[in-house]
């Protein structure tokens, strides 16, 4: 049996990703790296670690560095950062992460996840609008040639592709995160 493993997976829901990483660790595979699709694992004792995903909302390397130092001083181990996601682990013997039992911490993480996905939604909307309002009109006003047809078809494909991704992928995740936020708020009051 090898001492490392690469698995392919893709998540929009950070809760499911976190559960999957913890399930992999229970099978003896400790997560150490991802690019959002390929996940790399090293062999470990089954259930040796528990994982938590946090979100960087500051976007400043200095502030993130300070945050990592702070969390490490609290006993958490920095594993990896990919885009806005920060992956943490701790030995199972140290007990669960604060967010597992603390409603306020869960609410903070859920809001961070919601903001991350909302920014993605807005960014994709801007790209779709530019494709629809710029590429397609330019392609239609160019003299008839291969490039003008290609530009129109590319603009249409990009616009429709983004809209479908938003409708079938991002909107359900945003709804789920909003519902989870409301449930957590109702637990507080």
The helix (H) or strand (E) run that includes residue 131 is: none
Identify the three-state secondary structure at position 79: strand
64's tokens:
């993130």
pLDDT 10s per residue in the chain (189 long)?
A: 579 999 999 887 888 999 999 999 999 999 999 999 999 999 999 999 999 998 876 666 666 788 888 889 988 999 999 888 899 999 999 888 875 567 888 888 889 889 989 999 999 999 999 999 999 999 999 998 889 999 999 999 999 999 999 999 999 999 999 999 999 899 888
What does pTM read for this prediction?
A: 0.75
In the DSSP assignment, the letter for residue 13 is -
Q: What residue ranges do the domains of the chain occupy?
A: 4-97, 103-188
Which of these, 70, 87, 117, lies nearest to 22 by C-alpha position?
A: 87
Under a CB-based contact definition with an 8 Å cutoff, are residues 114 and 181 in contact? yes
Under a CB-based contact definition with an 8 Å cutoff, are residues 135 and 127 in contact? no
Under a CB-based contact definition with an 8 Å cutoff, are residues 18 and 89 in contact? no
């Amino acid at each position: 049996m090898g001492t490392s493993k690469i698995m392919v997976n893709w998540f929009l829901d950070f809760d499911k990703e976190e559960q999957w990483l913890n399930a992999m660790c229970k099978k003896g595979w400790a997560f150490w790296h991802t690019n959002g699709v390929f996940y790399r694992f090293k062999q470990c004792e089954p259930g040796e670690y528990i994982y938590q995903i946090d979100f960087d909302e500051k976007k400043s390397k200095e502030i993130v560095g300070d945050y990592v130092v702070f969390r490490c001083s609290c006993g958490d181990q920095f594993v990896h950062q990919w885009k806005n996601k920060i992956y943490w682990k701790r030995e199972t013997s140290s007990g669960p992460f604060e967010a597992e039992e603390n409603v306020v911490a869960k609410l903070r993480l859920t809001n961070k996840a919601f903001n991350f996905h909302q920014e993605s939604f807005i960014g994709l909307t801007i790209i779709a609008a530019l494709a629809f309002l710029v590429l397609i009109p330019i392609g239609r006003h160019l003299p008839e040639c291969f490039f003008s047809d290609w530009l129109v078809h590319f603009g249409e494909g990009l616009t429709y592709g983004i809209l479908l991704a938003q409708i079938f992928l991002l909107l359900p995740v945003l709804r789920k995160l909003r519902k989870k936020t409301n449930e957590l708020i109702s637990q507080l009051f």
